[in-house]
Structure 1
Amino acid sequence: MRHLYLNGAWRASASGESIDVVNPATEETIDRVPAGSPADVEAAVAAARAALPGWSSTAPAERGKVLNAAAELIRERSDQIARIITTDMGAPYNVALKVQTLMPAGVLASYGQLAETYDFEGGRVGNSRIFREPAGVVAAITPWNYPLHQIVCKVAPALAAGCTVVLKPSEVAPLAAFALAGIFDEVGLPAGVFNMVSGYGPVVGEALVTHPDVDMVSFTGSTRAGRRVASLAAETVKRVALELGGKSASLVLPDADLPAAVKVTVANAFLNSGQTCSAWTRMIVHRDQYDDAVRLAVEAAGKYPLGDPFDELTRLGPLVSAAQRDRVVRYINRGQEEGARLVAGGADRPLDRGFYVEPTVFAGVEPGMVIEQEEIFGPVLTIIPYTRGEDEAVTIANGTPYGLAGAVWAGGEERAVAVARRLRTGQVSVNGGQFNPRAPFGGYKQSGLGRELGEFGLEEYLEIKSVQL
């Protein structure tokens, strides 16, 4: 069994208990990690608290050098880390390499650069000087769907800001976190600056959130779990950043390039087997183009073969666990019960082993249906018609409790941007605009609080102080 990373060393958990790590493509146990205890959390927080004065007073440029060195090691070991992620959570190898490994390496390097260039001591307001200082000890609680990227999105800005960190990775796909901890150890991050306690959310996560010496909690996960985190953190008035669920819309206006809009929407909805909080899982299309959109979506879905994630022909890997597969199957069944028309995929088990679900498309979906309102977190696309024009389409797009991401497709950029401004969501792609890992990422409504990535992500981990002269 592996060990926890506490105060600059690998240590056995005080619990002595372990969690099996299962390969979702083969259903075989591939590793075991510690099921951390409250005593482990106590040791990790104490180490982070003791390391805070030294790390926060380290010159930002020196902090940046450590982050840049870690980013370079991730790049050098990208093949190895991508294979770990593929085996751990099932993403096809090419996705695990390009999206799950090289992108977080770039994000880490971007914070290395920001640490060197950001003005932590700049600014005046009248007779006051403005300083930006570390928030303190940060608890980072991360999910399984992007098991390295989601960690880097929290740990990198926290370290760049001068905070110290205790990480609780998901127990479902924890192995990339262990690889990152090893890299931080190798590049010489001072003891206690970064600590990692694996384990279950109700044990390790809640002990971190309620700990009086934790100054900030940054959490990514379901909206339900985010509410629990916010409630517990409120008892000690901690700063909280929440990146939660989504049910994002891809809104196609009548003058858009329909084949391009459908192709990219399907690709976005099925990326990472649909296990992406910002996935465009609702495609909203004018009634006059609806039948063509459904036909194109079915054709596109047929180009996503399932199989061994290491096979270069595989475009859709397994879901991360049996529980996640069963959850998605329940939603597919619910959609049919509600009267939506299944035009691709379905609930049948497509392979003899592995937690696979076929790429699934629903037509005949009406606003208010469960599959149109709730986050499924699997390869399921719903297609919703509108008839009365742009206002109706925007109302449908805004008609869920979520507001994380989305897309607008139109014949002209100016019109598309005008519609994008009307969407109550944190990030919008216009006519296929690519994801920008330096732009702020986060949600409106029940999709969360705060922002990650870029300068906005750094500022989540900074307190602002004014000194009157």
Structure 2
Amino acid sequence: MLLETIELPTDEHYARNLIDGRWVFPAAPYEYEIRNPSNSTITAVVPLSSRFDVDRAISSARNALSGPWSDLHTRDQLLALLLHRLAEAAPELARLQSTETGLGYDDSLATIESSLRIARAILTREVLHPRPMAAGISGHVLSWGAPFSEMLLNVFPALAAGNTAVVKPSLRGPLSPVAVAFIADQLGFPAGVLNIVQGTGVDVGAALISSTALQTLHVRASESTLSRASRAGHRTHVPLRTLAGGGNAAIVYPGLEEDKFATMATEIAEAVRVHNAGGPFALHTVAVHRDVAKNAIACILGQLALFNNRAAPLPTEPLRQRAIDRVDQLVAGGGRVLLGGTIPDDIQHRMGWRLPTTVADLGEVTSKVTGLAHSCESLGPVLTVVHWNTLADLDEVFNSRHHRDGYASVWGDDSADDRTRFGVTAREQGPRSAMHSGLVPAAWTGESAHRSSEVTP
């Protein structure tokens, strides 16, 4: 059987780009070492490509638009086969993602399984309700929070809509995206449909951002990268879909029943654990109603302590320092650190860039430090808690760009099931619209299916 013959990529593939169905070296012979953030050991060597490689990939993607990929039946079969094979390979892919991110195996596997559930829902909707839009070339600049999820949830919707894709994985987390592309290639995806170009943001990322040949550009990255992409859009006129890291949240209403506090706290603790860089399933803000704030915070702290919450490490020491600098800024602005807040100084952490799970209470929505929190880049397993009283307070908390593309779990709202997994963006766009527009249903997928009604706090 064909599926049984497929293997994961080797070092030979990680060291090359996938362009026009071939694994090729970049135009210039430069390389970069990928290290395991948990112990800083070298796990792979990847190429540093240039705009010439991006141009070749775009040309390849353009040619593939008129080939077999334009046939709906062929495309749907290949995409369904890809999801089937990825599910079969989930344990191996989870170990790979753990290696490049430092995520624990169980957390890594959970993000992969959640991503696959979302991708299946996307494919089903595209098959049943295909959009009458002309296909084009979709460009993707990915982040490194959870590389498999970044790849699948960012790129898969574009492929399901009939587009071809040129993907720049994060320089810090390229192995999982390469593995997805490798499996697609082994399954017989037409040449040029999915192209992987590895490299830095200033070379490969900039080339994609400045290209006028794309139909759509998807960027999930830091604020500085998003700003560059936004400025470039005025010249390229390519629609930009921005997915800002770390925009996810949990909202706790005063109607939350006593027996639900433990469940709420457990899910929040699990999301904090995977929040090394605001990945698709991470969380960094909890808005608690003042009437239940004391109980909610106590439950969250208790769960974090109970699990000995060991968060995924950051990939470099400078990034860890930026994360702790943010905590220092929040404290200077009036926030209170309830848990963590310091870089460990022991032999266990000498070879990994870990930051203990940190909880900072920012107080009322109107406080000065709450506004400061929105202006700082969210890095590391740092959970900020804000207290709200009115619905206008929630609008104040989530009106910044930081939350524009985030999703939230809603607890205790009579108008929404506690297991509803829609959030901040969905209040305006609706989850189905968000999914079809290319936004990633980022957080809190849970085991239950998404509902079709909007959450309107």
TM-score after normalising by structure 1: 0.79
Aligned mates of 1:133, 1:48 — CA distance in 2:
14
Aligned mates of 1:316, 1:440 — CA distance in 2:
33
Of residues 261-270 and 37-46 in structure 1, the stretch that sits farther from structure 2 once superposed is 261-270
- Aligned position for 1:133: 134
- Aligned position for 1:285: 288
Aligned mates of 2:126, 2:294 — CA distance in 1:
51
- The answer to whether 1:379 aligns with 2:390 is no
Aligned mates of 1:450, 1:3 — CA distance in 2:
28
Question: Taking structure 1 as reference, are residues 156 and 274 closer, same or farther at Cα in structure 2, changes over 3 Å only?
Answer: closer
Aligned mates of 1:318, 1:290 — CA distance in 2:
29
Aligned mates of 1:159, 1:246 — CA distance in 2:
25
Asked if structure 1 preserves the Cα contact closer than 8 Å seen for 2:169 and 2:177, the reply is yes
- Aligned position for 2:450: none
- Aligned position for 2:169: 169
- Aligned position for 2:33: 20
Aligned mates of 1:249, 1:111 — CA distance in 2:
23
- Aligned position for 2:454: none
Aligned mates of 1:79, 1:415 — CA distance in 2:
32
Query: Quick one: which of 36, 42, 65 aligns to 1:29?
Result: 42
Question: Taking structure 1 as reference, are residues 248 and 64 closer, same or farther at Cα in structure 2, changes over 3 Å only?
Answer: closer
Aligned mates of 1:168, 1:68 — CA distance in 2:
23
Aligned mates of 1:202, 1:110 — CA distance in 2:
35
Higher relative contact order (CA 8 A, sep 6+): 1
Asked if structure 2 preserves the Cα contact closer than 8 Å seen for 1:24 and 1:89, the reply is yes
The structure with the greater share of residues assigned to strand is: 1
Asked if structure 2 preserves the Cα contact closer than 8 Å seen for 1:60 and 1:161, the reply is no
Question: Taking structure 1 as reference, are residues 214 and 289 closer, same or farther at Cα in structure 2, changes over 3 Å only?
Answer: closer
- Aligned position for 1:412: 414
Q: Which has the larger radius of gyration?
A: 1
Asked if structure 1 preserves the Cα contact closer than 8 Å seen for 2:166 and 2:194, the reply is yes
Aligned mates of 1:18, 1:269 — CA distance in 2:
33
Please give the per-residue CA displacement for 1:364-420, whole angstroms capped at 9, x wherever unaligned: 53533123653423211222334xx42464354335443322343326346999xx9
Quote the offset at 1:345 in angstroms: 0.8
The aligned runs of 1:393-404 (5 Å cut-off) are: 393-398=393-398, 400-401=400-401, 402-403=403-404, 404=406
Query: Quick one: which of 439, 445, 451 aligns to 1:451?
Result: 439
Q: Which amino acid aligns with 2:408?
A: G
Structure 2, unpaired ranges of 5+: 1-11, 443-457
Question: Taking structure 1 as reference, are residues 325 and 257 closer, same or farther at Cα in structure 2, changes over 3 Å only?
Answer: farther
The aligned runs of 1:20-59 (5 Å cut-off) are: 20-55=33-68, 58-59=70-71
Q: Which amino acid aligns with 2:165?
A: V
Aligned mates of 1:164, 1:399 — CA distance in 2:
33
- Aligned position for 2:85: 73
Q: Which amino acid aligns with 1:382?
A: T
Asked if structure 1 preserves the Cα contact closer than 8 Å seen for 2:326 and 2:376, the reply is no
Aligned mates of 2:155, 2:440 — CA distance in 1:
11
The aligned runs of 1:328-339 (5 Å cut-off) are: 328-339=323-334
**Is the partner of 2:353 in helix, strand or coil?**
coil
**Cα RMSD after superposing both structures:** 3.1
Asked if structure 1 preserves the Cα contact closer than 8 Å seen for 2:27 and 2:52, the reply is yes
**Percent same amino acid at aligned positions?**
23
**Is the partner of 1:365 in helix, strand or coil?**
strand
Aligned mates of 1:274, 1:257 — CA distance in 2:
32
**Is the partner of 2:38 in helix, strand or coil?**
coil
Please give the per-residue CA displacement for 1:346-381, whole angstroms capped at 9, x wherever unaligned: 222263331111111123535331236534232112
Q: Which amino acid aligns with 1:132?
A: M
Aligned mates of 2:407, 2:119 — CA distance in 1:
23
Would you say how many aligned residue pairs link Structure 1 and Structure 2? 414
The aligned runs of 1:416-435 (5 Å cut-off) are: 425-427=424-426
- Aligned position for 2:354: 356
Asked if structure 1 preserves the Cα contact closer than 8 Å seen for 2:250 and 2:409, the reply is yes
Asked if structure 2 preserves the Cα contact closer than 8 Å seen for 1:48 and 1:166, the reply is yes
- Aligned position for 1:103: 114
Quote the offset at 1:297 in angstroms: 2.7
Asked if structure 2 preserves the Cα contact closer than 8 Å seen for 1:142 and 1:169, the reply is yes
TM-score after normalising by structure 2: 0.81
